Each structure stands twice: as C-alpha cells, then as structure tokens.
Amino acid sequence: MTLISGSNAPVGMRGKAAEAGKKAAAKQGRDLDERLGLASAGRWMLNYIFPDHWSFMLGEIALYSFIILLLTGVYLAFFFVDSAHEIIYHGSYVPLQGVKMSEAYASTLQISFNLRAGLVIRQMHHWAALIFIGAIGIHMCRIFFTGAFRKPREINWTIGLTLMILALLNGFFGYSLPDDLISGGGLRIFYSVFESIPFVGTWAMELLYGGPYPGTAVLSHFYVIHVFILPLVILGLLSAHLAIIMRQHHTQFPGKGATETNVVGTPMWPGYMAKSGGYFFMTMAVTALLGGLAQINPIWLFGPYDPIRISTFTQPDWYIGWLDGALRLWPNWETHFPGHIIANTFYPAVILPGIIFNILYAYPFLEAKLTGDKAYHNLLQRPRDVPGRTAFGAGFLAFFFVLLLGGSEDVIAVAFDTSVQSVVWVLRVGLFAIPPIVGAVAYLLCKELSAVPSAGKRPLANVIVRSVDGGYAATPVELHPLEAEHHEELEPAPVGHVFVPEPEPQLVTAGVVSPASAAERTDRGPAPATSAASAPVQSTSASDIPGVRQVSRQGTPGEPAPRSGRHLFFPRRSHGGEGPNGSNGDGAGTGPDSGSD
C-alpha cells in the first residue's frame, strides 16, 4: 500500500475520501438548485454584458464609495457617543483640557487621538462621503448629457435623483454629529431654515431637536437617522437602481456592432469582475491615501460648539455650499401675515431647492413631450447632437457654480481686498447673467461641432521628413497590424438621418433555442428559462470584436413608433425606417432613449 510522504494516510483512502466529498458537494448543490433555481440565475449573471466605455465606471465610484462609507462607519459607530451631555475634558489633547464640551465632541477627540487608526478611519469616512456625492453628481451629468434618462429608464433617473438628495441629507447629518463649533453653526442654520416652513416647521423642529433650539436630543436623533434610517433607504434604492439596470440592460454609445437591440461589451465573468474588483481597490486606496495624508475637518482646531460663538471664513462641505450661497445672496425679504411671519430663509433654502429638484424630476417627461419622442432607446447620444439639452444643462451647472461661489463671499472679499457687499451684488447679477451666457456658448459650440463630422476623431500620427533640397513632407505613420484592424471609428449620424431597420434579433424562449442562435450558444451551455412567455427575451453571442460579446434584446411587441412633434431646440427623430421596438433602427445619436445606468 502506497503512503503519501509526510502522512500516514494511504493514497487510495485519501483519493476515495476526496471523491466522496466532491460527490456530496455536487449533490448538495443540485438539491439547493432544485429548490432555489440558482444555477440558471448564476449563469445569467456571469454572462451579463457590461459596455466597455470608461464613462460607465463613474457610477461604480459612487457604489464603491458607499461600501467604504459602510465599512468605516461601522468602525466609528463602536466608539462614538451620541450625547449632548456636557462634561469637562481631561483627554490627551492638551489645548482643550479643562474645557466644557459635549460627550459627542469628547468621543470624537478620543477617536482622533487615542484610538488606533481612528483619525485615518474618520478622515477616510469624511472623504468617502465627499467622493460618494461627487460621483453621483458626475454620474448623473453623464446620464443627462447623453440622454440616458429617456424611455424606458425614466424611473431609474427618478431613483438616482432621490439617491442624490438622500446622500446630501445624510452627509449633513453626519457632518453635524461631532458637535464642534462649525457643525453646531450648521445645526443652527438647519433649525432656522425648517422652522420657517409655515404651520409645520416649528413643531417638526422641536420634535427633531427635543425642544426649542438648541434642544436636548438633536444629536441622538441625528445619529439614528444617519446610521440606521437613511443608509437602509439608500441601500434599498441602490438595490432597486441596479436591479432595474440589469433588467433593462445598460445603454451604450453608438459604435462598431452596437445597435438598439443588443449590448456589446465585456461579460461579468471574468473580464468585468476583474476590472471592477481592481477599480474598487483603487478607489479604496485613493480614499485611504486621502484619509492618511490630506487633513479634513480638524475639529480640535474649532473647539466645542457654543451657541453664542461663531467662526468667520468657514464654509460647509461643497455639496451644501450652494445652499449656503443661496442663503447669503438672497435679499433680506420677509413675508408678513396676520399673526405669522415667513422668514427670508424659507425662499432660498426651501422654495429654491424644491423648484430645482422638481425640474430635474420632471425633465425626462418634459423633453419627451416637447420632442414627441415616445420610442424606446438603448443607444446614447453625443451632447453635441442635442444642443438644446446640452445648453440647458450647462446653464444649470453654471447656476449652481455661482451659488457655490456665494457660499464663499467673505473669503472672496478678503482675497480681492473688497467689501463683502460688493461681492454679494456681483454674484447676484451673475446668478441671472452667467447661466444664459454659458448656455448660449454651449449651444453654439454644439452646432459647430455637429457641422464637422471629423471633430473629436483621433488623427493618425505623422512623421515629418526633410528632403535633400531642404523641403518638408508629412507622412502618415503605419499602424501596427493588430491596431489597424480596430482603428476605424463609426461615422457620426447627422441630425435627421434616416436609419435602415435592424434585422430581427435572435430569440431564446422558455427552454427552446432558435436554430440561428443555438450554434452561437454552444460555449455558454443551455439557455436559461424565462418565467413568463410575455417577458422580454434576450440572447448573447460572440461579436466580431475579439474578447467582446453581445447580448440581443427584444422589447414588448407592438411598441408605437415615435410620433412627430415640435422639436424646439431638440432634434426631431426621423421616421424613414422603423426598426424593432418602435425605434428607428440603429438610432445612433438622434434620439435613442437610454438609461440611467
């Protein structure tokens, strides 16, 4: 009997044990799959196609930052004390010894100076919050300017905008918890803003704060909202957001092989998972680097909160700066009613944000109404091809930028050695003058770029050769054979282009694969069964691009074609050829509704 070196177990016995273990594991897997049906779902998930364009990773930054927020937040929650009870500080930070402060402020000092890696984790948490909100904002700009909010993805646009509002609120609640001088000032402004809401404001704030300002329970209430309620709501909405994306599939830019009825890109396994995993660790590394090297919110320099004190030259985090700027730029107007006064904080901090976000919520439906575009869209548009939308978005961003500058009007006044009132009036005028100018310039640039088909395309490199007689000649560089195969780029489709209908996509029905698609699916195993005959069906197949697969999709039969309508500043869709899903075939760059991915 043969023995394995360093072991008393015979080879035969160990082999039999390993084989028995494999059979038992396989049987358990089969039993589990028979009850939960995980195999088909797992196969579908591993074969899910993600577009390869870099801009689709902007949303991933927000997701990864949220994960970092959860990890660092759990660590900090073990040591933070959400109490406004006043104590005398006797900790390790000498300049504040003997100072009266809340337990919340003292515990934050304890985390920063006495807890191992506490300051790094706390700063990572703060930086991750800033990155999270910034990534959501940039991601939504990409969605807006490329038309990825259009039918059938209006719901995901609404969910994404709600996520941004919740992220803003939760960031403010977390910013307020340390109870330092700066965050305490923010709590006072928050109280005043919502107290100005007619009829309900006073009672709501006394309930939240535990009495009239400064209250007795505001920190404990904010802590519950920041740690439990809002993160769970954000997690639920984020899950719904991702589920809808996978149900509808990602949008994609027009390119080689990309049509309205397929998705061309990298499968989840192994390509996208490797890329996504590396991207997560890169995001984590950058956040850790910022947390360790870039100081942020040094509360020990501000001191504990005192209602009768305030610091000059202080601004909130950037995502709240535009609201602070609106408060600073708004005139001292109040509305007087018999027995009631509406304070001036109500208009810039309640009415203005309400108008802004309601416009953003309604925009997908307003654009569809103005353009008469009711078609399903899966291809994205270049911003230059929709100059009206691009001009509106650029003006909107300029409006926010002026408000953000208004939040730093005192710092600007000192930097330019002028009065604060002068800066305020310049920004007030700029708030109404700059957005239209920016929008007009953006509109003209889009029209110019649309008129030049080669704009934005990569030119071939040239070699400058000098002849014997002293002259010069430019010779294009020959591409490497592997690069030359994929160097050609798709010609941009002009506005009003008539598209040729796409061929009918291959179908995979419940348990039956069409002959045309059966050969293409041999490398992927049997087709997953669908739950209902009426559900949209899809198939994946290899594309003509090495390392890239494509998934075909079919929408609900009988979708109406887009009807013609007033185009205003938006290009009208062409109806020369009607393709599947009620769309005009390829639809590259002229009106495909894409989604909030």
Q: Which of 284-293, 317-326, 515-524 has the lowest mean pLDDT?
A: 515-524
Report the pLDDT value the prediction gives residue 339, as an integer from 0 to 100: 78
Q: What pLDDT does 568 receive?
A: 39
Residues of the chain above pLDDT 90, percent:
42
Number of H helices, E strands in the chain: 20, 12
* Residue 578 or residue 64, greater confidence: 64
Beta strands in 445-592 (DSSP E): 462-466, 472-476, 508-509, 512-513, 538-542, 549-553
At 532-573, the pLDDT tens digits run: 334 444 444 554 444 445 555 544 444 444 333 334 344 444
Give pLDDT tens digits for 75-84.
999 999 999 8
Residue 211 φ then ψ, to 5°: 130, 180
Position 390 pLDDT exceeds 50: yes
DSSP secondary structure string for all residues of 190-236: HHHHHHTSTTTHHHHHHHHHTSSTT-SSHHHHHHHIIIIIHHHHHHH
Looking at residue 550, its pLDDT comes to: 54
Instruction: Look at residue 126 in the predicted model and tell me its pLDDT.
Output: 95
Across-strand partners of 540?
Answer: 551
Confidence of residue 22 (pLDDT cuts 50, 70, 90): confident
d(CA 56, CA 250): 9
Choose the weakest-confidence range: 167-176, 382-391, 433-442, 539-548. Answer: 539-548
Q: Which residues of 251-273 are buried (b: 16+ CB within 10 A; e: fewer)?
A: bbbbbeebbbbbbbbbbbeebbe
- How far is the C-alpha of 86 from the C-alpha of 361, rounded, in Å? 44
Q: Write the pLDDT tens digit of every residue in 118-131.
A: 999 999 999 999 99
Q: Which of the four pLDDT bands, split at 50, 70 and 90, describes residue 96?
A: very high
pLDDT in tens, 41-56: 788 888 888 888 888 8
Instruction: Compute the mean pLDDT over every residue in the chain, rounded to the nearest whole number.
Output: 79
Confidence of residue 310 (pLDDT cuts 50, 70, 90): confident
- Residue 178, C-beta contacts closer than 8 angstroms, at least 6 positions apart: 104, 105, 108, 297, 299
pLDDT digits (tens, 9 = 90+) for 334-355: 888 887 888 889 999 999 999 9
Name which of 13-17, 18-22, 312-316, 429-433 the model is least confident about: 312-316
Residue 530: the pLDDT is 40
Confidence (pLDDT) at 33: 80
Average pLDDT of the segment spanning 12-19: 80
* Residue 10: pLDDT over 60: no
Residue 215 in this model has a pLDDT that exceeds 60: yes
Q: With bands split at pLDDT 50, 70 and 90, how would you rate the model's confidence at 484?
A: low
> pLDDT at position 549, please?
55
Higher pLDDT, 113 or 473: 113
User: What Rg do the C-alpha atoms of the chain give, in angstroms?
Assistant: 30
C-beta of residue 158 within 8 angstroms of C-beta of residue 140: no
Is pLDDT larger for residue 266 or for residue 403? 403
Between residues 203 and 501, the one the model is more confident about: 203
Q: Residue 480's pLDDT band (boundaries 50, 70, 90)?
A: low
